[in-house]
Chain A
């Protein structure tokens, strides 16, 4: 019972600490006032609070990145060189360079243009992640676009569908159905990639509001004990990944609902 109330206090103090809400000093802090002692409760709550940030990063960049990905994929599949060229270069650049370096470059560009807001991790890293996932997803969607059976399009033309209707009713659904398994993988990878934002990717950490791995590392360094903090963050990620896969699976079933026995 005592443990429970302790944990509730921790939830109150550190539940939204990653967004700067709650107790100022982290558990075990000696330099600022109000630091609670390090215990399992505090660790779990604080790392979970950081996890919210990872989820937010993933959700924002995936949901917005999808539209850029679709545009890039369609541009890349055109025949005009001035349309395919830029799309190709952009996709190749983002897919060929490491994300960490993209974070650094992104930060430096935002800094040199004086875009104050984007110099914070919350906004700047989201932008970089947005472009990164868009380019990876664009390649997947492009592959799917090319794999749409020609006979389907022929049938659509035979029905005298306008180009827009043809895309909406034939190309796009088939494309999504073909791309979805690979897109699921990309979503998982992106979600895992959100963990490097706060580990020294150029973006400064303000007021110790970081993500799950940032806090896990904090605890591991504080206690010299990696055997509690890292498994907690790993467990959170296993759980979140499982939920993500489940969600993607639901969409996949929906996309394939007209096919028998195929998922």
Chain B
């Protein structure tokens, strides 16, 4: 399909260097179609897929942790409820990016510590904690690969957004009118039944606006992957947008970084727009059969 590409690239390259030669619109179009399907460009499309994949993996982790946090907060044991309360308010006080930097490193060091002291260097005199420095021996040191980094990022995102989610779920569980639960008990339902059949299903309705908001925040937090050393779309946009000289590149062009980043902006804009549409629908579905003043619920 792209056999003509080398020829076109060569032709345009020649024309760029020679004032006398001109490039027709059709050639330009062909050049672009070739340019956008180079190996490097395919990797930026793949990176966009990875972003979506990370989103898809983060959501269940965050929801699970959110539920654990919210339910743990209401626990009878003070230790658990204290820890969970701390978890629920955690992200309100501390910027999320600190967790994104801290959590992967902590997990990495935890593994290194286990490797250092129990597997590889049991005999070595070198301590793991050397004053303020941490020094695993060379066999135990981990050099993170792209895949490891992505997995650790999902864990970090899960923890942070789990905290946000716990906040929302906690609020939504409290928002369900107490009379509902009371009625359930009056009908002789067990505590378990009241929770799963009455409390939880109604919780979703109150939690949905919060989740919608959270999902949008999560989408807008994915570029931070770049700051964790993951080769995501920003990394490739930065790389591909750089000026490519005629000497070293098959497809020479000027500094197109701005255009690449604007394209990224549009990508994210489309993503948020689509999500908002979906959530509006969901909200309508969850509110079916509820008596709600239309004028106040129409806005999301």
Q: A residues engaging B (CB < 8 A)?
A: 38-39, 92-93, 95-102, 104-105, 108-109, 112, 143, 146, 188, 192-193, 195-196, 199-200, 213, 216-217, 220, 223-228, 230, 233-234, 237-238, 241-242
Alpha-carbon distance A64/B260, docked complex (angstroms)? 30
The stretch of B28-36, B149-157, B266-274, B286-294 in contact with A is B266-274
- The answer to whether residues A93 and B269 also contact, given A195-B97, A200-B226, A230-B102 and a CB cut-off of 8 A, is yes
- By a CB distance below 8 angstroms, the chain B residues around A224 are 109, 133-135
- By a CB distance below 8 angstroms, the chain A residues around B234 are 100-101, 104
Give the nearest-CB partner of A39 in chain B. B132
Alpha-carbon distance A109/B258, docked complex (angstroms)? 7
Alpha-carbon distance A220/B132, docked complex (angstroms)? 10
Closest 9 CB pairs of A and B: A192-B95, A238-B93, A100-B223, A98-B220, A108-B258, A96-B272, A224-B134, A226-B105, A96-B269
Does B106 reach chain A (CB closer than 8 Å)?
yes
- By a CB distance below 8 angstroms, the chain A residues around B95 are 192-193, 195, 213, 237
Partner of A237, one of B93, B224, B299: B93
Alpha-carbon distance A193/B97, docked complex (angstroms)? 8
Does B41 reach chain A (CB closer than 8 Å)?
no
- By a CB distance below 8 angstroms, the chain B residues around A97 are 220, 265, 268-269, 272
Dominant secondary structure at the B interface:
helix
Interface size grouping (class) on chain B: 35 or more
Does B261 reach chain A (CB closer than 8 Å)?
yes
B114 to chain A, nearest CB (A): 16
Dominant secondary structure at the A interface:
helix
A225 to chain B, nearest CB (A): 4
Does B264 reach chain A (CB closer than 8 Å)?
yes
B86 to chain A, nearest CB (A): 11
The answer on a CB contact under 8 Å between B224 and A230 is no
Does B53 reach chain A (CB closer than 8 Å)?
no
Does B262 reach chain A (CB closer than 8 Å)?
yes
Give the nearest-CB partner of A54 in chain B. B95
Give the nearest-CB partner of B233 in chain A. A101
Alpha-carbon distance A11/B295, docked complex (angstroms)? 57
The answer on a CB contact under 8 Å between A241 and B98 is no
A78 to chain B, nearest CB (A): 17
- By a CB distance below 8 angstroms, the chain A residues around B105 are 220, 226
Q: B residues engaging A (CB < 8 A)?
A: 92-98, 101-102, 105-106, 109, 132-135, 219-224, 226-227, 234, 238, 257-258, 261-262, 264-265, 268-269, 272-273, 299
Alpha-carbon distance A199/B229, docked complex (angstroms)? 11
Partner of A98, one of B93, B221, B257: B221
- By a CB distance below 8 angstroms, the chain B residues around A188 are 92
The answer on a CB contact under 8 Å between A195 and B98 is yes
The answer on a CB contact under 8 Å between B109 and A226 is yes
- The answer to whether residues A108 and B132 also contact, given A143-B299, A213-B97, A220-B101 and a CB cut-off of 8 A, is no
A141 to chain B, nearest CB (A): 14
Alpha-carbon distance A99/B261, docked complex (angstroms)? 12
B152 to chain A, nearest CB (A): 13
The answer on a CB contact under 8 Å between B268 and A101 is yes
Can you list 20 residue pairs at the A/B interface with Cβ under 8 Å? A96-B268, A98-B268, A99-B220, A100-B224, A104-B238, A105-B262, A108-B261, A188-B92, A192-B94, A196-B97, A200-B227, A223-B133, A224-B109, A226-B105, A226-B106, A226-B109, A227-B106, A233-B98, A234-B102, A241-B94
- By a CB distance below 8 angstroms, the chain A residues around B273 are 96
- By a CB distance below 8 angstroms, the chain A residues around B261 are 101, 104-105, 108
Partner of A196, one of B109, B224, B269, B299: B224
Known: A200-B226, A226-B109, A233-B98. 16 other contacts (CB 8 A): A93-B265, A95-B272, A97-B220, A97-B269, A98-B220, A100-B223, A101-B265, A105-B262, A143-B299, A193-B95, A196-B224, A200-B227, A217-B101, A226-B101, A226-B102, A237-B98
